[in-house]
Each structure stands twice: as structure tokens, then as C-alpha cells.
Amino acid sequence: MMAQLQQGGPDEKEKTTALKDLLSRIDLDELMKKDEPPLEFPDTLEGFEYIFNEKGQLRHIKTGEPFVFNYREDLHRWNQKRYEALGEIITKYIYELLQNECHLKKVTLPVDAIETEPKSFIFMSEDALVNPDKLLVLIHGNGVVRAGQWARRLIINEDLDSGTQIPYIKRAIEEGYGVIVLNPNENYIEVEKTKAQIQLSSDISDEPAEKRERKDKIQKETKKRRDFYEKYRNPQKEKETIQIYIRMIQREAEVKNRVTAVALTDSVHNVWHQEVGKTIREWMRENCCNWVSSSEPLDTSVESMLPDCPRVSAGTERHELTSWKSFPSVFKFFSEAVKAKNSLVKPTPTRRSNRIKYEEF
């Protein structure tokens, strides 16, 4: 009797079985797309009836109102698609600003790529490779952002200053830096799998046919449900794709010798998971600082259990705002690091005190 109560009893089991049977007969794709308008959107800001005003804020051309995500009620997938379509347009818009407003040039990588090889690109100032004094290299985080962006959400809902790297670029150029804007989320291209590739991946097995059929049936049902939720959460990824990586090179020794300072903004790196050696950890303690999301005032020291580099408050609890809020402190950190290197003086007090603490740890 106790066992029956714990498991819900026979009536509950029958109801659960009936519910599972009902769900198995529902076409989740069709249910999700029911009454959904066509996923066709404009390919320009003007087509969306939005424009960036003189303050760098995205506003509706007619009403002057900020961007509205829930344009169609109860159609989250459609609204998400619309948001992502706007995001792609904004990415191209930022590329244009990097070239026209910041006067950076677009450079294809690898520089020796053949015509049929996967390629990416970065942006550079004219003096990036010949500046005799200093070079600023900007690297965004992971996700949908591309070169020149910190956070798409900020660009759309706040302004260009907080969401893009443009203030950093302009400040760097004013202070005599050469500038390189990297594009690490473009390290590979995605191409749709052919039917032959999909079939090949499912056929490679040494299992008996009967066992493989049962397994395939379970996997297909599981995949159907997983794909439903994946499409809802990430509507762009609707087809099976393979990733073709663009050629990359690692130069640890050269980086450590030539890089004077690294400013991280709420970085999610982990020296244990990435198998970073002792020499890199020591280099990070000496040359890096991480401005993390925190309720503490800007530049307040923040404790960490990771023995990698000092952590200080970015003056905001919002992850996506850390790059913007720490903007003045980052350039001060760079300036002090350059002076210290040129005069052979030890690093700044904040970095030195943290370094001692980590060495004791």
C-alpha cells in the first residue's frame, strides 16, 4: 500500500500513460507554428521603422518610442525571430560605424587564405601593425555579438555607447594607440548537413539491427521533443549543421612577452577548466585585472577563490554593463601599466596587493 501511494497508485499511472500517449501523437512543430505569421522581416533599419537618434538610442521613426520586443502578443517565437533579424541588421550597422566613424579598415583572415577556404575578418586602424608605442586589442564575449559590440541587448534597449566598443576605440585613438578589433565569434562557418552526411552519422554502428532499431526509435522521439524546445529557445537553429573552423594559431610565449596589460570585464574564464599552466597563472596575476559585476563601488577589490588575477568591482551588478561602467578605470589601468613597464616600476598598488594575497593562497 505504501509503495502504491508513493508511486501515485494505479489510477495515476494510467493517467500518466494516457498523457504520454497523447503527447506522442501531437505534432509539436505544427503546434508551435499554429497561427504564426510568416517569418519574413525587413532587411534595413528603416524597414523596421527604427533609427538611432543623436544620442545613439534606437527609436521608432514615427512614435519616438524604444524598441518593443512583444510586437505580437502570445507569439514569442515570432517576436524572437523579429528581434534576431533586427540584430543582424544592427551588426552590419556597427561594421559601417567602425569603418566610417572610427576609420578602421576591414581585414580578411587568414591573410593567406585561398579562395575556397573559410574566412573571417577583423578591423584595424591604419597604424595597428606599425605603431611604435602601443596597441589596443578589443575582444568581445561569446554569444551573438560580433566585432565592435559588447552586448546586443544594450545596443537595442540602451544606446550605442554602452553596447558597443566605439567609445573604447575613439579614446584609444585619441591617446595614440593603434587599434585592432577582433571577431572571435566568427571563428567558424556553419553549413547545412547534406542528407548523405546525416544518414552516414546515423548508420555508423556495430550494434545488432534489432537493438539499433529500438534505440533509433527512442532517439527519434527524444530528438523530436528536444528539437521543439531548442527551436523555441533558439529559433535560428532549425537545420542540422556542421561547423568548419577557420585556421588559428596559438602564440603563448609571444603574447606574454609583448602584452603589457589585459583588462577583463566580468570574464567567465576558469584557469582550472582550461588547464592553464603555472607560468600563465603567474603572468595573469602580474598583468591582468578583471572588473566583475558587483554591488560594490567601482574599483573596490573583490575576493576570489581562483588564483588567476585580481578582481575589482565594475560598479554595476549587470553583467552586460561591466565594460561600459569600467571604461575610465580600464584606461587608467592601461596607462599605469605602460608607465610601469617603461620605468621598470612594480605594478599598481591594487594589483601588487592582490598578487601577494594570491601567492600566499
- Please tell me the predicted confidence (pLDDT) of residue 230: 56
- Please tell me the predicted confidence (pLDDT) of residue 189: 80
Phi-psi region of 266 (alpha: psi -120 to 50; beta: other; left: phi over 0): left
Q: Are strands 241-245 and 178-181 parallel, antiparallel or unpaired?
A: unpaired
Which is nearest to 58 in space by CA: 75, 83, 31? 83
Task: Please state, in angstroms and rounded to a whole number, the distance separating the CA atoms of residues 338 and 332.
Answer: 10
Element (H, E) at 2: helix 2-7
- Please tell me the predicted confidence (pLDDT) of residue 356: 34
Are 283 and 344 a contacting pair, CB within 8 Å? Answer: no
- Please tell me the predicted confidence (pLDDT) of residue 76: 86
- Please tell me the predicted confidence (pLDDT) of residue 55: 97
pTM of the model: 0.73
- Cis amide leading into 110 (omega within 30): yes
Cβ neighbours for 83, distance < 8 A, ≥ 6 positions apart: 69, 156
- Please tell me the predicted confidence (pLDDT) of residue 229: 55
Where along the chain do its domains lie? 191-241, 250-361
- Please tell me the predicted confidence (pLDDT) of residue 43: 93
Q: What is the dihedral of CA 149, 154, 157, 158, to 10 degrees?
A: -110
Task: Please state, in angstroms and rounded to a whole number, the distance separating the CA atoms of residues 17 and 8.
Answer: 12
| Per-residue pLDDT in tens (0 to 9) along the chain, 361 residues | 444 444 456 677 777 777 766 666 655 555 555 567 888 999 999 999 999 999 999 999 999 999 999 998 888 889 999 999 999 999 999 999 999 999 999 999 998 989 888 999 999 999 999 999 999 999 999 889 999 999 999 999 999 999 999 999 999 999 999 999 999 998 888 777 766 555 555 554 455 666 667 767 777 776 666 665 555 555 445 566 778 888 876 778 888 888 999 999 998 876 665 666 778 888 888 999 999 999 999 999 998 777 778 999 999 999 999 999 999 999 999 999 999 988 865 455 454 344 333 333 2
Task: Please state, in angstroms and rounded to a whole number, the distance separating the CA atoms of residues 226 and 275.
Answer: 32
Q: Are strands 135-138 and 178-181 parallel, antiparallel or unpaired?
A: parallel
